[in-house]
Structure 1
């Protein structure tokens, strides 16, 4: 067992959770499943595979994960963020087991190279082939950005390295689930984009290269400082053409076409349209507290929740 704690957030993830747990149960010393009161068999599956289960009311991903960091009884030297639909492949498991214990104290974070599997096809082009994400960090050095969307792990100090082993995002749900999820994501991203300009909620500092992966920092800068300043009627179409033509997304075949249209055009267009809709909803108010209240009413999101520890919790360990 590696001196590693894995944290997985869940809500109705019975379709994925067993697969994720099977890939880490012989690798990590501790596995914590932080559940948002699932109504399926998620909790039973977690306990059956020896995970410690904690439950907390969900506000957003960032607050839920920060709550997990604050409340999970972690004793391991290293901590890993893993989504229920992600898979640690055997070569990465070997790399973690052999290399992680040998890293010098100045290394506080480890980036992983995540590939995307969509409709059972690995997406290799369109700039979506490999995403480098900070996913492992020394206990006490990592935190998650307090954002409503596109939240990244960062390390407070020290340097990061990148492991090369296989790591994949392979969601097994259908396109109805995909579009519903991205519709909700679009609302959250619209909130973050508005907050970038209006500052009605506290806003985290921009990521530096040392605190997260270089790729994530560059993507964040381009999106917030360039893309978001262009009218969405232009930027969404231009972005799709960039991904599908310039970045060779057409080489991903039929599945790639579906993915790049939905995620590279429809989703980006929807975010822009929702920003426009929310701007209209708050056009009659000027005070920040009134803006926040109106956005909460319009979106149904609890934007004013200030504490990541809010909500009842319970913990249990399988026997």
Structure 2
């Protein structure tokens, strides 16, 4: 049987972290929380739940997660965000994989929670995420936002049954604030890569995004939640390109 170190990054996650940690009790042999100096009860809750807490100034999503991985005692890493939790079926699937002997990488089906409802259609589902992997062959890249895994060649990928529950947004106001933050980071990243924001993208990317989310991917099947989320996806595309347009103009 392999041992697993769970790694979580936090900043003011008192609302979510206890649920996340509780879902890890049966599967993780060690829990490391990399906290960027929370001012709420996050650290207290983590210590009460038996997690190892490392204080680290914010480095960006990928680098922050890698700090925790570097401190892990075990080869296999279970990487979660503070607003995520394993459902019971996924916990059982991970335990079964541990008993069989972990091999290479495992991905989970993530289900996203918006304003009181887990969605099962649109751009948000199925949302497959690789979250269980060997640290000697996999690491996060150094992107400030939308971090991805750098994977050594030759690793196989298995999908475990169950859901990774992602408590994304409780309120629409939270979604607006986070969308503003992430579109700024996305625009800055694209600007650094030398990308341009054409008027074609500013005008038609939001429309194409809405059609993809609401009609092609069946977001309408989630009712009003699906419509609101499709509009938010379109809004995000519009904001990302208009902010990039502004950065391009400032450079000129």
User: What TM-score results when the alignment is normalised by the length of structure 2?
Assistant: 0.92
Question: Which residue is 1:86 aligned to?
Answer: 84
Separation in 2, partners of 1:115, 1:96:
17
Alignment check: 8 A CA contact 2:169 2:175 kept: no
Does 2:187 match 1:187? Answer: no
Question: Which residue is 2:75 aligned to?
Answer: 77
Q: What is the CA deviation profile of residues 85-140 of structure 1, one whole-angstrom value per residue up to 9, with x for unaligned ones? A: 11101111111111134246xx4211111111211212122232111111110132
Alignment check: 8 A CA contact 1:8 1:34 kept: yes
Unmatched runs of 5 consecutive residues or more in structure 2: none
Q: What is the CA deviation profile of residues 226-273 of structure 1, one whole-angstrom value per residue up to 9, with x for unaligned ones? A: x999522111111112211222211211122222211x1111111011
Question: Which residue is 2:132 aligned to?
Answer: 136
Question: Which residue is 2:218 aligned to?
Answer: 248
Q: CA separation of 1:172/1:195 partners in 2, compared to 1, >3 Å: closer, same or farther?
A: closer
Question: Which residue is 2:205 aligned to?
Answer: 235
Alignment check: 8 A CA contact 1:134 1:154 kept: no
Question: Which residue is 1:166 aligned to?
Answer: 163
Q: What is the CA deviation profile of residues 6-57 of structure 1, one whole-angstrom value per residue up to 9, with x for unaligned ones? A: 1110000000000111110232100011100000000000000000000100
Question: Which residue is 1:294 aligned to?
Answer: none
Alignment check: 8 A CA contact 1:148 1:188 kept: yes
Indicate the SS of the match to 1:149: coil
Select which of 253, 261, 273 maps to 2:231: 261
Does 2:249 match 1:280? Answer: yes
Indicate the SS of the match to 1:235: helix
Alignment check: 8 A CA contact 2:106 2:132 kept: yes
Does 2:34 match 1:34? Answer: yes
Single out whichever of 270-279 and 253-262 deviates more from structure 2.
253-262
Separation in 2, partners of 1:60, 1:77:
23
Separation in 2, partners of 1:90, 1:155:
28
Does 2:116 match 1:120? Answer: yes
Q: CA separation of 1:250/1:228 partners in 2, compared to 1, >3 Å: closer, same or farther?
A: farther
Separation in 1, partners of 2:115, 2:172:
9
Does 2:211 match 1:270? Answer: no
Separation in 1, partners of 2:133, 2:227:
36
Question: Which residue is 1:63 aligned to?
Answer: 63
Alignment check: 8 A CA contact 2:83 2:166 kept: yes
Separation in 1, partners of 2:48, 2:177:
30
CA drift at 1:188? 1.0
Greater than 4 Å deviation, 4+ residue runs: 227-230
Indicate the SS of the match to 1:137: strand
CA drift at 1:172? 5.3
Alignment check: 8 A CA contact 1:149 1:188 kept: yes
CA drift at 1:179? 1.3
Q: CA separation of 1:230/1:97 partners in 2, compared to 1, >3 Å: closer, same or farther?
A: farther
